[in-house]
Chain A
């Protein structure tokens, strides 16, 4: 079993629009008996705007936080937001790959980054470092009404050289986690098709079209709820759902929960504790819990990567 002693880098969105994600992760970690260690005085990872403007600046803004983890003496850090994850991991990857880049980045920092920190998304951390078996243990309640379409977004496991997690074309980690806590998932083809990312503010027209596609594919597959692992995805799919409806003439009304909120519900936390009331589309009776009815345990789906390892 991999190391559970990782730092936790919440990132800016989880202080703002994604606060419910943060709250639910902390509760889930508590139920799983894993201590959340936040690096003191972390700063913004730089996200899309930094690397859009300059790679070097982006590298330095991310690396400052890796240095904090390095100071904590921990092996790695997990980040719930894919954007942070990608920024941190890309900085780490590029610095490992090119000494010149590493030197340039370190020139901008007060304390140089040594290149020792293992960066994972919090989803990966829960899936690999804690594992599905452990995750199933605290389950107290069932969510019988829920049929979840897990939505991974684009950069949680891409590009594979950098993310090094799950299958880049057909990820299954979130599916397996949600199944592990006894909730039904549906398979559909748009699990990692882009929702419009950070263009919500400057280019709403694009987000509307792309989000519309994702929502309709999930609903067509029979889902009545979407699970996400990203505050930006949550914003585009949930907060902007009304905008999408208006622009595209649709009438979607599908709640969008963080996977950690779904896990938290089965662990017996209340919707309020988990911040589910902060979502715009009301999940209504979907979050009604019931007693656990034992059913045949499904084998976790295998990813290509996992299958390769096994062979």
Chain B
């Protein structure tokens, strides 16, 4: 056995705090190591060529690269050794950057630690076995979760690429938050005018199957072959019959239902179509407000409906779909302003959220685009916008910037002046964050052309005084407290993860960060992939971002899906469990513990019962391996012997 070891400098990233030459020198003393060298950038083209040349020149049969995290470059180097004729599993990485040079300050200790990491990797690689992947057929249908602008874009791009798409949307209509917006920055074009056609495309595309008012119940399978259970929630209206005529809504006597589309700006009916441009344009009963459900009598809608679509007995329905790839575009939520007690959030009617203000500005909103104060329906003259409301606020658990509120505040201030030329807007801000193309020019216009007064400082309190709301904040540039007597206060409340985001992540086996936004594979280089192959991200589900960025990610996720689905077969990862049938005593403990039901029992010819792994189902977790009392089932590439070799290399010397 001849092991070759390549120790990377990573410029100064490693060499700065690790004596790489010394590591190479010590490595040469390890039994089995035939060759060891340190090099500036191992992953560069000459770096990889050097590995290939050394394999040929010195007849190396196992390779170790001591460099960055295997999560970064394992795949790169596996390809390299394969090109040089070795099995790609005759390769190991020692992480001497993320786990060593970047976190330790003492050069001597770091160098020593790096040598240890190399020693363990060498021990492991000497135990490695060649593994070969097998290929399996790919289901070319796609599931998109969330029908906001990001999800719709992904669905349309995949469908235009020729694949069937299943689009699951939680609420009764697609459109997401963008469907609620009035105009959009920085061009101030009408939101629904640009979104509406996309929504119609989604509805009319032959290859898109839309499940509105539905949620993903269960996800089974693996990349290329998922089985999805979808819960179609009861609407109490047979959508195959409903024409969206709206007569039921007109006549329904229950008038105080919470309107989640309008964020409670005005009440709606117990049976309703969320908004005029809704897709699908179908009615739905909200049983918490419907008298038929709460009091047991009414039935007006059933009587009035010309197509007899109403069905009070309807129940949730579960359907199953099979797909090969998944795009998650479940969007975002907004911070509950009751958390901002000092702003009287939720207590004072004239302190509202920015999304409620969008609905007030919107010509098809509940006030037909007239800006009025909720308390007395009078037109406000002085409007105060409070930015970073809850954002960048550790004390309430939102340490991050919500990304787009600076921009929409400028937009709303401009629109306020457009609607009411004699009004005056103020904005309390900490920083104006407007780095996009044309964005800073836009926030400047809000100040220069539209006369919005920007005040640099946070607001500490908002309280009523007569008919006014007093906003008391700091002007840190003046160095003192300022008070404004406002008619209406608009809070730019923080963007949060979508409600239920963690639960959805758990179904999909993808990770989420401490703020419940989904985690991408790599923050720079793989922004729309997840660590679960076959699952992709788009839009605000990954983190707050504006419409252009959401749409960009929707298309990027679709491109990733299309490139994956361009192959008819995928190769599996051969690092899966394997049963040694001679050693197996047929206790079937592994069958019970496998989280993926990947193990079945098999009767051999002699009548002996043993365990058998279904290759395509095994996900490679290794739970079975540590369950088996006989060591009969071994997770390849992480066998007991291989891991113990590492333990011994670290502990026995």
Chain A interface residues toward B at CB < 8 A? 167-170, 189-190, 217, 220, 304, 307
B343-359: CB near A (< 8 Å → 1, else 0) gives: 01001000000000000
At the interface, yes or no: B450 with Cβ under 8 Å from chain A? no
Q: Which residues of B lie under 8 Å from residue A307 when comparing CB positions?
A: 338
Please provide the chain B residues from 455 to 487 with a CB less than 8 Å away from any CB of chain A in the complex: 463-466
Determine whether the beta carbon of A170 is less than 8 Å from that of B341: yes
Residue of B nearest to A189 (CB): B463
Q: Is the interface of B mostly helix, strand, loop or mixed?
A: mixed
A-B contact pairs, 17 of them (CB 8 A): A167-B341, A168-B341, A169-B341, A169-B342, A170-B341, A170-B344, A170-B347, A189-B344, A189-B464, A189-B465, A190-B463, A217-B465, A220-B465, A220-B466, A304-B338, A304-B341, A307-B338
Chain B interface residues toward A at CB < 8 A? 338-339, 341-342, 344, 347, 463-466
Residue of A nearest to B469 (CB): A189
A168 to B395, CA, bound (A): 13
Q: Which residues of A lie under 8 Å from residue B341 when comparing CB positions?
A: 167-170, 304
Q: Which residues of B lie under 8 Å from residue A217 when comparing CB positions?
A: 465
Q: Which residues of B lie under 8 Å from residue A168 when comparing CB positions?
A: 341
Q: Which residues of A lie under 8 Å from residue B344 when comparing CB positions?
A: 170, 189
B327 CB, nearest partner CB in chain A, Å: 33
B133 CB, nearest partner CB in chain A, Å: 49
Residue of A nearest to B346 (CB): A304
B538 CB, nearest partner CB in chain A, Å: 31
Q: Which residues of A lie under 8 Å from residue B347 when comparing CB positions?
A: 170
User: In the complex, given contacts A168-B341, A189-B344, A304-B339, what are 16 additional A-B residue pairs having Cβ atoms less than 8 angstroms apart?
Assistant: A167-B341, A169-B341, A169-B342, A170-B341, A170-B344, A170-B347, A189-B463, A189-B464, A189-B465, A190-B463, A217-B465, A220-B465, A220-B466, A304-B338, A304-B341, A307-B338
Closest 9 CB pairs of A and B: A169-B341, A189-B463, A169-B342, A170-B341, A304-B341, A167-B341, A189-B464, A304-B338, A168-B341
Residue of B nearest to A171 (CB): B341
A82 to B465, CA, bound (A): 28
A307 to B339, CA, bound (A): 11
Q: Which residues of B lie under 8 Å from residue A169 when comparing CB positions?
A: 341-342
- The listed residue with most B CB atoms (<10 A of its CB), out of A189, A217, A220, is A189
B600 CB, nearest partner CB in chain A, Å: 45
Q: Which residues of A lie under 8 Å from residue B465 when comparing CB positions?
A: 189, 217, 220
Q: Which residues of A lie under 8 Å from residue B464 when comparing CB positions?
A: 189
A220 CB, nearest partner CB in chain B, Å: 8
Q: Which residues of B lie under 8 Å from residue A167 when comparing CB positions?
A: 341
B472 CB, nearest partner CB in chain A, Å: 10
Residue of B nearest to A170 (CB): B341
A169 CB, nearest partner CB in chain B, Å: 3
A170 to B338, CA, bound (A): 11
A40 CB, nearest partner CB in chain B, Å: 41
A240 to B115, CA, bound (A): 77
A190 to B347, CA, bound (A): 15
A304 to B345, CA, bound (A): 11
A170 to B348, CA, bound (A): 12
B516 CB, nearest partner CB in chain A, Å: 17
A169 to B463, CA, bound (A): 11
Q: Which residues of B lie under 8 Å from residue A170 when comparing CB positions?
A: 341, 344, 347
Residue of A nearest to B464 (CB): A189
Q: Which residues of A lie under 8 Å from residue B339 when comparing CB positions?
A: 304
B548 CB, nearest partner CB in chain A, Å: 37
A223 to B464, CA, bound (A): 16
A279 to B539, CA, bound (A): 64
Q: Which residues of B lie under 8 Å from residue A220 when comparing CB positions?
A: 465-466
B161 CB, nearest partner CB in chain A, Å: 45
B81 CB, nearest partner CB in chain A, Å: 55
B346 CB, nearest partner CB in chain A, Å: 10
B468 CB, nearest partner CB in chain A, Å: 12
Q: Which residues of A lie under 8 Å from residue B466 when comparing CB positions?
A: 220
